[in-house]
A and B are shown apart, each in its own frame.
Chain A
């Protein structure tokens, strides 16, 4: 029979061996040797800290109580690993590109480097982790006590052994977990030691399993018969618990701080995931392969009431196989120690980076040039945190007194830490997830978890029976095990379902209702699209003077040697001669990452921000953020364009419609005008011809007068018809131009007298003859017709007492411009747009024209490639004629 002394000796020897392994691995890593330290095998084995003492011993206990249900705890992680392409790949890439140091750091980094969030996650992790550590201590103590019972010497005392175990673990974690503070928190020594422990515990469990199956049961066939014949021999698993536990273990596998530590932080190469994706499930499969046989044989062999949690130990012991029991003890010891060490390391990193350091830096604020080494303070904070966390676990164990209350703590811790899941998954896949959303979701889930699971599980002192029975404040729908009045659900399933679903709901709703800060959006884009732009997550800009400050600060965190090396390398990279590199954005980014490996992303960002003063966002970053806003903008721009195009078309349509209406009215009025114009002379012609026909004895004088009237009216009719014909010819474009060359002066010379001929009161025409020496090549007769029209119009309509018409001519770059400006009252503004229309007459019928003159002028000018416009604001009526100096065919 192995004595407790031998056991302690073996234990110590094993610990010394682990120390040696860790030390050697650290030495090899420091020397740059030992490629195998970064092999996928080591990575896979380090993941095995998922299998704690709770799973090493507890799985068998669980199987003895509820059959295959234990396997759910392994199936969840299997699904996660098998589906690594979905989530883990991204998680690891993000973790590496952002240099995160813990899961709290990851969330804080994703949600705008918010330390509040990091503190929340840290508290959650510590609350969930402490009982878990206590559980490991308990398992070690229990396994010790099994041997102690068998040992007659009775030297063993439970309390002190727990203390020494806890102290030893703390020393190990401090020695190897806080040796280095540099690059990305990788601890080769610890990881290698854990890998060794992983092999040991797997070997131990398989050894016990082989012993049970082939040593006791006598082979696989008999074993299976024995299993079917046992009290757990039927498939009898609650559906709710089955699915919930698979989901829960999958969630916890991602969210547990220690798993994050080994899976993401200690990851050397993303390619390792490829191997771990199948190798780790294989490990889990081997871990659970012999669980049911051990449980069944234990139930058979051991007396009623034996603790099934310890079958792994007691079955070999009962068969007198002490060395196997010893091996199994070492296996359980390995599971417990590796979990405690990594847990303590992960939690201490979170505590020191997110709680201790911010507080310490705040107290140091204002004294920017504190001498001393921040690095030492970070390390000290971490060491103290490790000791404190293990001490917390120790006290929790002592206060709770061990026992059954602890046994269920594993799943309770799982449910607690899983509350991170919505914020984590949302942060990785949903760009619009915000810090507020994450905080609200975490709080809701956390509170529900405490209220429905943690407090009821801790017994009457923490939650009175009345609350459990009648709900908080006597509200029935607030009963911790029957929220909203839905009863009869398994408490674990109940908690997981409500806390996680309400957590997710709160997270989504709060994210939708809140607006992220620019840094959050930036980080959101960096996280969600990590495969598109995983380089240069943010930009800094600084001035040369700040390099020195940066160096001083970095020295305080990384130490003098590494800092000078880093700065020298950077300076050389920049090609400068000085020892200090220019603070280019690239350099500052690398520096921030270097620092974030030691103090976390939020701290590093804040520290560099303090010195450099505000971050500047690079164009690529802006582009990444602007991506979707750009899409939105583009879309709304298109809409705007379309709508303006529509309104433009509508305006054109309205204009066209108005024009059509106007033209239709013009046509009507044209017809009535024409009939009217024809009728007036016809009436007088008819009247006077009737007088001449019917009246006898008209004097010769009278006859002549009447005949003259008839003749005049006939002439007027002819003129009107001529004009109409002229206009119609012009409008139809059938006019043939008679092109010739002459000066503008001679055209005007001819036009003025013929326009003024026969007028009673002649208008004074003022011309500047020298300016009129412009030679034209155009239809001079038609042009003259326009001039005559304009001059006679002025003669007719100018209402000034002393009417004057000024004709001025200019040559503007090949175009001839002739203005006709009189000193009358001009054309009223409302009528200006109509003067060039047919039969448009200003001021009634006063002058007796048909109103076709200007219409004809406009047509003629268009034919000649020019135009006639009304010039407003010249004092009187003013018309401008402009036409090309030489008529061109193209103008036709």
Chain B
């Protein structure tokens, strides 16, 4: 949506600076997301440490629930990594074609 807006309102060539700025802003945002990802993953995987301890007499979390939780987190991380990988590749390709055209 944002890119559509950017392309529609700005005639090509007249104000290239804004376009580039937007590009690099997006790239920075993308790398920021990529950097946050492992910390998010570590936090999610540290969460089970807060679960009740059966040796303390509390009702323990059944292993099946634990498995669901961990594999879901795992899958979510992979998905996020996949999306980021795609975005990074698109970005790289676009930049490559940009520099190639210039």
Residues of A within 8 A of B (CB): 67-68, 71, 75, 78-86, 224-225, 227-228, 230, 232-237, 239, 242-243, 246, 271, 274-275, 277-278, 281-282, 285, 289, 292
Contacts and interface: CB of A to CB of B under 8 A. Distances in A.
B35 interface: yes
Contacts of A237: 48
A561 to B, nearest CB: 35
A275 B70 contact: no
Interface in B48-64: 48-49, 51, 53-55, 60-64
A278 B31 contact: no
A474 to B, nearest CB: 35
Closest 9 CB pairs of A and B: A83-B38, A278-B81, A234-B60, A85-B34, A235-B61, A224-B64, A278-B82, A235-B66, A228-B62
B35 A292 contact: no
9 contacts: A68-B63, A68-B66, A84-B34, A228-B63, A234-B61, A246-B42, A278-B78, A278-B85, A292-B67
A239 B49 contact: yes
Contact of B75 (A228, A243, A285): A285
A274 B63 CA distance: 33
A330 B34 CA distance: 38
B41 interface: yes
Contacts of B60: 234-236
Given A227-B67, A282-B78, A277 B51 contact: no
Given A224-B64, A236-B60, A242 B54 contact: no
A236 B55 contact: yes
Interface in B23-53: 31, 34-35, 37-39, 41-42, 45-46, 48-49, 51, 53
Contacts of A275: 85
Contact of A281 (B34, B61, B81): B81
Nearest to A87: B38
Interface of B: 31, 34-35, 37-39, 41-42, 45-46, 48-49, 51, 53-55, 60-67, 70-71, 74-75, 77-82, 84-85, 88-89, 92
A559 B102 CA distance: 42
A75 B45 contact: yes
A71 B70 CA distance: 9
B10 to A, nearest CB: 30
Contacts of B79: 278
Contacts of A232: 63
Given A71-B70, A278-B85, 7 more contacts: A83-B41, A225-B64, A242-B49, A243-B46, A246-B45, A274-B88, A281-B78
Given A236-B54, A277-B81, A292 B63 contact: yes
User: B-side binding surface: helix, strand, loop or mixed?
Assistant: helix
A86 B46 CA distance: 20
Contacts of A277: 81, 84-85
Given A82-B41, A271-B89, A285 B34 contact: no
A82 B43 CA distance: 13
A235 B65 CA distance: 9
Contacts of A228: 62-64
A88 B56 CA distance: 41
B92 A234 contact: no
A79 B41 CA distance: 7
Given A82-B37, A227-B63, A234 B54 contact: yes
A83 B75 CA distance: 15
Contacts of B85: 274-275, 277-278
A235 B48 contact: yes
B62 A235 contact: yes
Nearest to B39: A83
A75 B41 CA distance: 9
A426 to B, nearest CB: 19
A587 to B, nearest CB: 28
A529 to B, nearest CB: 17
Contacts of B63: 67-68, 227-228, 230, 232-235, 292
Contacts of A68: 63, 66-67, 70
Nearest to A242: B49
B64 A227 contact: yes
Contacts of B53: 236
A50 to B, nearest CB: 16
Contacts of A243: 46, 49
Contacts of A235: 48, 51, 54, 60-63, 65-66
B43 to A, nearest CB: 11
Contacts of B67: 68, 224, 227, 292
Nearest to B62: A228
Given A235-B61, A239-B49, A285-B78, A86 B66 contact: no
B62 A82 contact: no
A234 B62 contact: yes
A242 B48 contact: yes
A86 B70 CA distance: 23
A81 B81 contact: yes
Contacts of B39: 83
A82 B80 contact: yes
Contact of A289 (B64, B71, B77): B71
A83 B85 CA distance: 11
Nearest to A274: B85
Nearest to B92: A271
A277 B33 CA distance: 14
A82 B38 CA distance: 6
A84 B51 CA distance: 29
Which of A82, A86, A234 has the most chain B CB within a 10 Å cutoff?
A: A82
B92 to A, nearest CB: 7
A84 B80 CA distance: 13
A79 B64 CA distance: 23
A609 to B, nearest CB: 37
A245 to B, nearest CB: 11
Contacts of B38: 79-80, 82-83, 86
A281 B64 contact: no
Nearest to B87: A274
Nearest to B77: A82
Contacts of A224: 64, 67
A79 B34 CA distance: 12
A299 to B, nearest CB: 12
Contacts of B92: 271
Given A79-B41, A228-B62, A235-B66, A285 B46 contact: no
A514 to B, nearest CB: 31
Contact of B77 (A78, A233, A242): A78
A237 B47 CA distance: 12
Nearest to B31: A85
Contacts of A282: 78
A149 to B, nearest CB: 31
B69 to A, nearest CB: 9
Contacts of B37: 82-83
B40 to A, nearest CB: 9
A85 B46 contact: no
A78 B88 contact: no
A518 B70 CA distance: 49
Contacts of A230: 63
A227 B68 CA distance: 12
B78 A83 contact: no
A346 B65 CA distance: 41
A532 to B, nearest CB: 16
B79 to A, nearest CB: 8
A84 B85 CA distance: 10
Contacts of A227: 62-64, 67
A669 to B, nearest CB: 72
A236 B53 CA distance: 7
Contacts of B54: 234-236
Contacts of B70: 68, 71, 75
A277 B82 CA distance: 8
A653 B92 CA distance: 62
B42 A79 contact: yes
A104 to B, nearest CB: 26
B48 A85 contact: no
